[in-house]
Structure 1
């Protein structure tokens, strides 16, 4: 049953991706990007990565969609058609995708307990994290203690990006008001 749900969700992701590529309305792209993030959060829930799913839903489907729509309010919302198609970019994209798919063929099946990742660090975290950190939840102990600097860095990057977007939006709004005032005077 879970494989069927995964197949449906991944097919929906592919359909939304193709719709984004074909869309010429930037408003439509912003909405479809929010839908993509929501479906991706659903995939992560099925994969039992609820913490990552919550982040994807809040940042990807929530904050990013709002920021994209706010930015579209300040600019033209229709993409211009390219003069010529860039076949070199298509070639490299398809080639990179083929290499990535080929690389996944040598990986062990998903969830296999004999995979290399489950033999080294994971048993140590499961056995010693409560004793070493004093935090009863293993996932929280990994994110907050073992990977604390990494988590702080990720939070800083997201915060800085958000502040930058807000400053750009504020500057554009202020510039728009100055133009309106100049037109009222003239």
Structure 2
């Protein structure tokens, strides 16, 4: 696909579908993050990037086999990694057995926060949540730096309006 606008729109739709899948899998926190970051912010940043560049991708000069080989090996490794996963809906799967009911029972006494989800994310999983926040913040700053660095520099000097030799 050479049309970059269509590629950005497909990326946004795919992210929105991913958020829908996570919602169907009873993971509303992941679904909300995917919808806001994946379908929302990423799509807006990609559209902003398109505003600064061209809308058509350049035709490839040659078709190297190495990137295709890397993608195929990585895909095969990912598929191989899913072979040990428990079946969907398995009541004995770790996802069905955790968090342990004691988290719900002890959360208010341990953390003194009435909302159990907030207690788990902010205290029991505090370092994990901090790490995720740092990654998202760093990615946002990197995108802003890249977008700011891509602006064309304006020439400085007396050629602008009111400047130059004729002004006077």
TM-score range, shorter chain: 0.7 to 0.9
Closer, same or farther: CA 110–24 of 1 in aligned 2, 3 Å: same
Query: Cα 1:165–1:106, aligned 2, differ >3 Å: closer, same or farther?
Result: closer
**Structure 1 Cα separation of the partners of residues 90 and 113 of structure 2:** 27
Residue 85, structure 1, aligned to residue 68, structure 2: no
Which runs of 5 or more residues in structure 1 are unaligned? 1-22
Match of 1:66 among 41, 44, 49: 44
Q: Where does residue 20 of structure 1 map in the other structure?
A: none
CA distance in 1, matches of 2:29, 2:90: 21
Partners of 2:9 and 2:156 in 1: CA distance: 30
TM-score, normalised by the number of residues in structure 1? 0.71
Deviations 1:2-47 (CA, angstroms, capped at 9, x unpaired): xxxxxxxxxxxxxxxxxxxxx2222222111111111111111101
Q: Tell me how far 1:184 sits from its aligned partner.
A: 5.5
List aligned pairs for 1:141-152, cutoff 5 A.
141-152=119-130
Map of 1:43 onto structure 2: 21
Instruction: Indicate whether 1:113 and 2:74 are aligned.
Output: no
- Name segments (4+ residues, structure 1) moved above 4 Å: 116-119, 179-186
Give the length in aligned residue pairs.
161
Task: Report which stretch shifted further, 151-160 or 125-134.
Answer: 125-134
1:26 and 2:4 matched? yes
**Greater C-alpha Rg:** 2
> What are the residue-to-residue correspondences of 1:163-182 with 2, within 5 Å?
163-173=141-151, 175-176=152-153, 178-179=154-155
Q: Hey, which of these two has a bigger chunk of helix by percent?
A: 1
Alpha-carbon separation, structure 2, partners of 1:103 and 1:160? 28
Give 1:77 deviation, angstroms.
2.5
In structure 2, the partner of 1:12 is none
Q: 1:87-125 CA distances to partner (integer Å, 9 max, x unpaired)?
A: 232233223323322332232212323224555x62153
TM-score normalised to structure 2 length: 0.77
